[in-house]
Every structure is written in structure tokens, then in C-alpha cells.
Chains A and B, each alone.
Chain A
Amino acid sequence: MAVVAVFASVAPLVYLGVRLAEFGIDKVLTQTLRSRSFELLGNSVLLTLAVAVAAITIGSFQAWLTVRTSIRGRSFFAILAALPLAMPSYVSAYAFAALVPGFKGFWAAWLVLTIGTAPYVYLAVSAALVRSDAATEEVARSLGLGRWRVFKNVTWPAIRPAAISGAMLSALYTLSDFGAVSILSFDTFTRAIYNAYRSSFDRSAAASLAAILVVITVILLVAEPWLRGKIVPTDSRVRKTSLIHLGWFAPIAGTVAVVWAAVGILLPTISLIRWNLIGLSKADAGELGRALVNSISYALAGGLVAAIFGIAISVLVVRFRSKTTLMIDRTIWLTHAVPGIVVALSLVFISNRLLPQLYQTSALVIIAYLILFLPNAVAAMQTPISQAPRALDEVAASLGATRLQTLRRVVIPIAGPGILAGAALVALSVLKELPATLMLRETGVETLATRLWNATSVSSFAAAAPYALILVLVAGIPAWLLNRQVRQSMFSQVDLDRRLERE
């Protein structure tokens, strides 16, 4: 299965290879080695770094606030922190641009993408905080360390791997984003790739640019383990620890969280409602219903398939750790920054040559989702699966259980919440996905995202608004589920330890 996943993941690379070979190395070099390319590369890298740093800061702060402190309404803050995940970045970009005149350029793109991707860090860090031992912090504090030094020397090292892997998702998302940067008029590499398709119908020029994104991804992937630092060993048992009382800092922290949520969720929502009120165009209820059903079907199927492959890869990496399995794990990330349109075109190219029966069926759409979002699933699942004690595997084996039985009856139940979280994350991404769906869906099948695209492309913003609002509401369900899973794992972990002690 992992092999299948790897084959799927490298499919876009094969396609890029074919296109580049056809193009010839000279032309590739002249296409890519222009000063404009470097300028765009600079823009992309700058935006990616700025978004990643902001996402780490904001996401970690929200996680700390909602997991470690006694601030009033922390569950509410937790929901607010995860909710922007439900808002597609092209929707919030459009919504902001419509509300704030002159909202464009670097900082606009930075804000919209930070809002959209900080939840990746927030979720990862929350999960890490829940698992890490707060007692160490208490000891540090009792030894007279100030709050900042406790954070720097004790808390940060414990959450750093999670924060970095969350930021990695955020960075790769930013690299591959087209919708937000194009609406907000900020020139990035991905925008250049789309423009190469759009304006010159030049598939090879676009391919050479996309290849550069793959190179950047490789650099990020190589840098990641180094940035993560060492994983701090934690006592797998989590004690209930007292929460930090913020005192005078509470109102400030609360205000920051509320303002951020208002900017990220409330403003775009107001803007969407305003569209609906100003405009004269109307959405058709029947079409809305059909699009809703299709979106949900794709999301469920995408989530399910990604969960199955995600489990296979996570188990392989966690239980059978070797150079090969680590390679597999890294390979699925390679194409994560490749824009959706390139992934879609590569599947058009490959399926028409190898499996024409598959072309324009829902199966191919699901394969595209697998390529695009498997890394999100694996990122969410790997740690929970690694936490299922190995000893239990051995006990199961000694009792005559096969590997599959062990997986089904031991690993999956223990890592259940994590697996569900991974599937929810993929379902959420599927709901928001546009370019691959548009190109690969069965002719005549429309989803909320494709309808939304259709309505905005003829400036029928009022007709678009219900699609956008429903999309946000539906995507809110997995977002909420995800958040709940992460926060609940705090209790299930304690539960598990108790159960283990009993057994």
C-alpha cells in the first residue's frame, strides 16, 4: 500500500520529467534563469518564511493559552483557533479585498495565508502540549526560573518538533497557493506557473517553474529534521497538572485571541453576508443541494482513502523503521508544494496514456486528493500511532494474533483519535480544493467549490455567497472534530494509562 501511495505521489514528478525532457535543457534553463524568476523566487520564499514564522507564533500562543492556562472560556478560544481552517484562502482573500479597499500586496497575502494556516501549528502544538509533561515546567518554576525562561528552556524544546511540522504544512501550503496571492495581486512562483498555462498555453514553461518548487520543497524537507531539533523524551504518562493562572496577563492574552479571531473569521463572514445583501443574483437551491452532496461525498471518500493509506505509511515508518521506510515517508511530501493544476494535468496526462477508463471518474479525483493531502493525514497520525506501546504488539503476537489483527485490534483503537484527526484534516482540505476538482471531476458533477468558482467568475457575488457560507459551515464540522480530538486526547491518554495499569 505504501508503495501504491509512493507511486501516486511521484506521478506528478514523472509528468514534469516528461515535459521537461520534451522541452530540452537549454530552454528550461533560459525559462528559469531569468532575473524575473529570481525575483519571484524571492517573493515566494519571503512570503513562505513570513507566514511560517507568524503561524508558529500565533498557533503556539493559541495552543498554550487553551491547553496550559486557566483563562476563562478556553474551550471557546480553542474552537476559534481551529475554525479558520474551514475558510478557503481564496474566499477569505476575496472577502477581505471586497471589504477593505486597496487590500493587496505582500502584507495582505501574508495576513490571509497566516490566518488560514496558523491552525496547522495550533493543532500540532496543542497535541504536543497535551502530551508533554507539565510537571517539568512546574519544577523549573519552583527552582526560580521566570516565565519566559521556563518557556524558552523547558516548554519550547518540548513543542518545537510539533511547531516545526505544523509550520511545514503552513509553508508548503503557502508555496502552492494560487487563489489568495492572485486575488491579492502578489506575484509568486505559483502564480507564474498558472499564468504560464493561462496566457501562453505553454505547458513546458510551466513545468520548468513547477520543477523549481519541487527543489525548494526538497530543501525544506532536508532542513526540517534539523529545525525540529531532538525529540524530547517524555514520560508517556500524563499527570493532571495545575493550570497556569495568568493574573494581569489574562485580559491582554484574551484580547489578542479575540481580536485575531475577529479578523480571521468575523470580518470575512461579514463580507460574505454583505455580498449576499448587495447583489441581485441568486443561487439555485437545487443546485446548492446537489453541490453539497457531491462535496460531502468527495470529502468522506477522500478522508477515508487518505486514512487507510496514512495508517499504512505511519505503521510502516513507526514499526519498521529503516532507510527505505523513511524514504517512503519523505517521498509523499515531495509534491506537496506542487500547485493543484500541475497535479491535475499530470493525472490527465498519465491516466489517458495508461488507464483511459479511469479518466474523468471520481476514482481519479480521489487519487488526486491522495497525492495532494496524504502528507496532512500522515502528519496528524504518525505521533499517535507511535504512542501505541510496542509491548502490546508483542503480547498480541504471542497470543497468536496476525499482524493485521494486531493492527485492527490494538494499534487502531489506541491511535483512533489521531487517525480520525488525520482523516478530518484531509476531508477539510478536500472540501476547499478547487483546481484538481475542476479539471478531473466527472463531467457534470459540481461541488460547492466549483460552483463558487463559477459564480465569482461572472461577478455574481450574491449567488456565490451561499456557496461560500455553506462551504465554511460544512468545513467547520471536520475543523471542530479535529480540534475536539486533539483536546480530548489529553483525557484519553490518561484513560489509556489507567487501562494499561489495570491490565
Chain B
Amino acid sequence: MNNKLKRGLRVSAAAIAAITAVTALTGCAKETTPTPTAESITIYSGRSEDLIAPLLEAFTEETGIEIEVRYAGSAELAAQILEEGSNVQADVFFSQDAGALGALTEAGVLKTLDSEITDLVDAKYRAADNTWVGVSGRGRVLSHNPELIDEADLPASVFDLADPAWKGKIGIAPSNASFQSFVTAMRVLKGEAATTEWLAAMKENAVIFEKNGQILEAVEAGEITAGLINHYYWFEHATEIGEENMKSKMAWFESGDVGNLVNVAGVGVLSDNAAAVTFAKWLLGETAQKFFVEKTSEYSLTGIPAQAWLPALDEIASPNIDLSALAPLAETLELIRNAGLTD
């Protein structure tokens, strides 16, 4: 009797587990449930939810277009879109950097954008064939710890970091997309020989990190004197620990130095859904551009002034380069790899 009871209990326990699992799964708690009647778009976002979710909500509020969004790394999403083949789920790809968009352009999966959208930004911040458009700018900066280096001793050019005096003092993230775009810019502007030489010097001098954020933490902790990062990491970190607790400062190189490269986050449209184009255009409108300036501390590409603690976009003496020229990364990666900085 007792055994029978036990077995019965066991079976019902298993059944309950199965039923809960299945019901819970079918009704997996989703963030948004768009009504099928309303207009809606699916966005693959390489930009992170914490930063972007409020912006997307504002879009739905203003336009009535519902959004389904999938967050992951820009590169992973690009790979995913390419593997989806003819069954692409996304209407829009919102990328953290121009490189991932360039990869999709190369594969021919992005639709050409109308000139009423692309004309909103300077030609250097969009694809040459108008398949993607930049929506916000991010600058490369030299993050440094003032306790370890005087402002007067800061290098004038990113090439000065090749000096043996910098051995073990400078942090870089060679597997990071923004570093790679910067090296591509160097290659395009200064030639392969100069770039190879600089990378070889970095192999000697630099401390290697996986992410920009880790470089900044190491600068803050005084483990390294300085590091090459994007400007908004300083802002993210300050938001997390409080501005008054920040030790590091940002600096720019001399006018036109390739170390001052300004890159963009941008969008490309993948489907014929008209709402997707509406979204792309909306990102260049006032609400979104203000949001990028105020909330993520990036640069507006349509002329809204940057935050007070940042130099204005046209004041950064960034090198003169067409961002879509940065897309063919393969040669750059080969150089970085041959220098022994990445796998």
C-alpha cells in the first residue's frame, strides 16, 4: 500500500512539474505584447536595453507604432541576421557601431534608405551607398589618471604611445570593435607600414583588456596610467559610482590625430515594413537626438549641442575620414592579429 502511495505521489509530482513547465513556458512573462492590429516593428538592438528602452518607449508613445525588441551584442546579432538567411525576423538593426552595419551592407541584406533620411546627417556619418545611417556619435579619447601623469606630459599624438616610456602603462582592447575601427582609420590615413609599426609597439607597451569598461576601471584603480576608450564610458562609470568619485580624466590628441576618431552607432532597415523607415527617421528627429545627448552622453549628428563637459562635435579635431571606408575590416584584423594583439 505504502509503495503504491509513494509511486502515485511520484507520478503526480512529475506531472505537476511538467504541467507547470509547459504552461509557464507558453505564457513566458514577456515585456511587451503588441496587439496584432496596430502597426509594429521588430528591432534587433546591439545597443543595450538599459540605455535604449526609454527611447523606444518614447517612439511608441509618439507614433503609436509598437516595438518588439531583441537585445544582444551587435556582432552576434549581425551573425544571427546573416544565418537567418531568407527568413529574417528583424525590420530594423540598431547597431552599436558602423562595423556590424558594414558587414550587413557587404552581405547585401540592407535596404537603401531614402535621401530624406540620409540627408539629415553629414556624408561622413553614413554608408556610401546609403544602406545605413549613423544616429549618434562617439569619440575615441585618452582616459588617464591625473595622479600618475601631469596634463602637460600627455602625448600629443596617439603615435607617441609607441615610445618605450609607455611600457606597461597604456591599456587597449584590441578585440573591441571600436578599437578596430580606429586602427582601420589609422591604416587608411597613415598607411599600412606606419600602422604595423604602431601595433608592434603596442604589443610591447600595452596592457590588453577585453572591454573598454575594464580599461577605465584599471585607470581608475591606478593599475595603468592611461587607456584608449570611447568617451561615454567615463559617463557610464560616473553614473554608476558618482561623478565626485571619479579619478580619471579624458584628453584628446592634437588636431586631426587619428586617435580622435569619431565613430557612430547607427541603423539599417531590413524589411519593406514602412514603420521601419519611420523609426529610422525618428531616430534623427529632435526627441531621439536630445535623448542621445542627455541620457547616453553621446554626440547628436543633427547639430544639437553636446553636454557641457564635452567639447562640441565640430571642435573635436577628428581625422577627416569617411566612416563607410572603415567597413572592410579584414585587412585591419590581419594586421592586429599579426602583431600578436588578438587571436
Contact = CB atoms under 8 A, between A and B. Distances in A.
Q: Do A and B come from one complex?
A: yes
Interface in A125-183: 182-183
* A-side interface size class: 35 or more
B10 A352 contact: no
A29 interface: no
Nearest to A98: B217
A185 B83 contact: no
B38 interface: no
B83 A460 contact: no
Interface in A16-64: 36, 40
B76 A439 contact: yes
Contact of A439 (B20, B69, B72, B329): B72
- Provide the main secondary structure of the chain B interface: helix
A102 interface: yes
A324 interface: no
A444 B32 contact: yes
A197 B76 contact: yes
B76 A341 contact: yes
Contact of B240 (A203, A300, A450, A459): A459
Contact of B28 (A36, A182, A281, A445): A445
A432 to B, nearest CB: 17
Q: Which of A192, A296, A413, A444 has the most CB of B within 10 A?
A: A444
B266 to A, nearest CB: 15
Contact of B73 (A187, A198, A290, A345): A198
Given A454-B49, A459-B237, A352 B85 contact: yes
Nearest to A35: B340
A460 B236 CA distance: 8
Interface in B209-240: 209-210, 213-214, 221, 223, 233, 236-237, 239-240
A380 B303 CA distance: 62
Nearest to B7: A413
Given A101-B221, A352-B84, A443 B89 contact: yes
Contact of B87 (A102, A304, A356): A356
A241 interface: no
Contact of B48 (A199, A279, A444, A457): A457
Interface in B198-212: 208-210
Contacts of B68: 443-444
Contact of B340 (A36, A301, A442, A462): A36
Interface string B18-50: 101110111011111000000000100000111
A200 interface: yes
Contact of A349 (B73, B83, B175, B210): B83
Contacts of A223: none
B147 interface: no
A463 B239 CA distance: 12
B75 interface: yes
Contact of B70 (A36, A353, A416, A443): A443
Interface in A450-465: 450, 454-455, 457-463
B242 A360 contact: no
Contacts of B84: 348, 352, 359
B82 interface: yes
A280 interface: yes
Given A201-B103, A293-B24, A455 B50 contact: yes
Contact of A280 (B72, B86, B240): B240
A360 B75 CA distance: 18
A298 B25 contact: yes
A472 B18 CA distance: 23
B207 to A, nearest CB: 9
A304 B21 CA distance: 9
Contact of A183 (B20, B22, B210, B342): B210
Contacts of A439: 72, 76, 80
Nearest to A416: B10
Contacts of B210: 182-183, 185
Nearest to A307: B14
A195 interface: yes
B240 A462 contact: yes
Nearest to A308: B18
Contacts of B329: 199-201
B24 A458 contact: no
Contact of A442 (B17, B28, B73, B99): B28
B162 interface: no
A458 B69 contact: no
Contacts of A290: 29, 31
A433 interface: no
B304 interface: no
A300 B209 contact: no
A198 B75 contact: yes
Contacts of B82: 201, 203
Given A40-B343, A345-B83, A462-B240, 20 more contacts: A36-B343, A195-B343, A198-B177, A199-B180, A199-B329, A199-B333, A201-B103, A202-B330, A298-B25, A300-B21, A304-B18, A341-B76, A360-B89, A362-B25, A435-B76, A439-B72, A439-B76, A450-B71, A454-B48, A461-B240
- 3 interchain residue pairs of minimum CB distance: A192-B343, A297-B24, A201-B103
19 contacts: A97-B214, A185-B208, A185-B210, A195-B342, A197-B75, A197-B79, A199-B333, A201-B78, A280-B241, A294-B29, A301-B24, A345-B83, A435-B76, A443-B42, A443-B70, A454-B49, A458-B50, A458-B51, A458-B236
